[in-house]
Structure 1
Amino acid sequence: MELTPSLFVGVAAVALLCEYIDASVGMGYGTTLTPLLLIIGFSPLQVVPAVLSGQLAGGLIGGFFHHKLGNVDLDFRQDKAIKKRLRGLGYMPNSLDSKVIFILTVCGVVGALIAVFFAINISTIALTTYIGIMVLGIGITVLIRRGREIKLSWGGLTAIGLLSSFNKGISGGGYGPLVTGGQIISGREVKSSVGSTTLAEALVCIVAFVGYLLTDEVIYWSLAAATGIGSVIAAPFAAHTVRRVNTVKLKFVIGIATSMLGTIILTKTFIF
Structure 2
Amino acid sequence: MEKLLIIFLFALIAELIDGGIGMGYGVSLTTLLLSIGIGTAVASASVHMAEVFTTLFSGLSHFKLGNFDKKIFAFLAIPGVIGGVLGAYGAVKFQDASSIRPIISGILLVLGTLIVVKFIEKKEMLEHEYERPRIRHLAPLGFVAAFVDALGGGGWGPITTPTLIMNNAHPKQVIGSVNFAEFFVTLAISITFFLALPKIDLAIVVPMIIGGLIAAPIAARITKKLPHRTVGIMVGVLIMLLSLRTLIMAMMP
| TM-score normalised according to structure 2 size | 0.84
How big is each residue's C-alpha offset from its partner over 1:37-85, in whole Å with a ceiling of 9 and x where there is no partner?
333354555533321122221111011111112222xxxxxxxxxxxxx
Structure 2: distance between partners of 1:45 and 1:117: 9
Structure 1 residues 263, 216: CA separation in 2 closer, same or farther (over 3 Å shift)?
A: closer
1:54 alignment counterpart:
50
Based on CA coordinates, which of the two structures has the bigger radius of gyration? 1
1:98 alignment counterpart:
70
Amino acid aligned to 2:142: G
1:107 alignment counterpart:
79
Structure 1: distance between partners of 2:42 and 2:152: 17
Structure 1 residues 198, 268: CA separation in 2 closer, same or farther (over 3 Å shift)?
A: same
Task: Compute the displacement of 1:162 (Å).
Answer: 2.4
User: For the Cα contact (< 8 Å) 1:105–1:203, is it kept in 2?
Assistant: yes
The ranges of structure 1 where at least 4 consecutive aligned residues each deviate by more than 4 angstroms after the TM superposition are 41-46, 113-120
Structure 2: distance between partners of 1:12 and 1:130: 30
- RMSD across aligned C-alpha pairs, in angstroms? 2.5
Structure 1: distance between partners of 2:194 and 2:235: 34
Q: Which runs of 5+ in 2 are unaligned?
A: none
User: For the Cα contact (< 8 Å) 1:56–1:206, is it kept in 2?
Assistant: yes
SS at match of 1:160: helix
Structure 1 residues 268, 41: CA separation in 2 closer, same or farther (over 3 Å shift)?
A: closer
Q: How does 1:59-78 map to 2 (within 5 A)?
A: 59-72=55-68
Task: Compute the displacement of 1:107 (Å).
Answer: 1.8
1:153 alignment counterpart:
133
User: For the Cα contact (< 8 Å) 2:85–2:188, is it kept in 1?
Assistant: no
Amino acid aligned to 1:153: P
Are 1:136 and 2:120 an aligned pair? no
Q: Which runs of 5+ in 1 are unaligned?
A: 73-96
Structure 1: distance between partners of 2:34 and 2:49: 16
Q: How does 1:214-233 map to 2 (within 5 A)?
A: 214-233=195-214
Structure 2: distance between partners of 1:42 and 1:143: 34
Q: How does 1:20-39 map to 2 (within 5 A)?
A: 20-39=16-35
Structure 1 residues 269, 98: CA separation in 2 closer, same or farther (over 3 Å shift)?
A: same
1:14 alignment counterpart:
10
1:182 alignment counterpart:
163
Structure 2: distance between partners of 1:32 and 1:135: 16
Structure 2: distance between partners of 1:245 and 1:152: 21
Structure 2: distance between partners of 1:54 and 1:47: 11
Task: Compute the displacement of 1:123 (Å).
Answer: 7.9
Structure 1: distance between partners of 2:114 and 2:158: 12
Deviates more, 1:129-138 or 1:106-115: 106-115
Structure 1 residues 270, 100: CA separation in 2 closer, same or farther (over 3 Å shift)?
A: same
How big is each residue's C-alpha offset from its partner over 1:166-196, in whole Å with a ceiling of 9 and x where there is no partner?
3224322322111111111223110111111
User: For the Cα contact (< 8 Å) 1:22–1:29, is it kept in 2?
Assistant: yes
Structure 1 residues 9, 105: CA separation in 2 closer, same or farther (over 3 Å shift)?
A: same
SS at match of 1:214: helix
Which of 174, 184, 194 is matched with 1:203 structurally? 184
Structure 1: distance between partners of 2:84 and 2:46: 19
User: For the Cα contact (< 8 Å) 1:135–1:174, is it kept in 2?
Assistant: no
Aligned length: 242
Deviates more, 1:137-146 or 1:37-46: 37-46
Task: Compute the displacement of 1:106 (Å).
Answer: 1.5
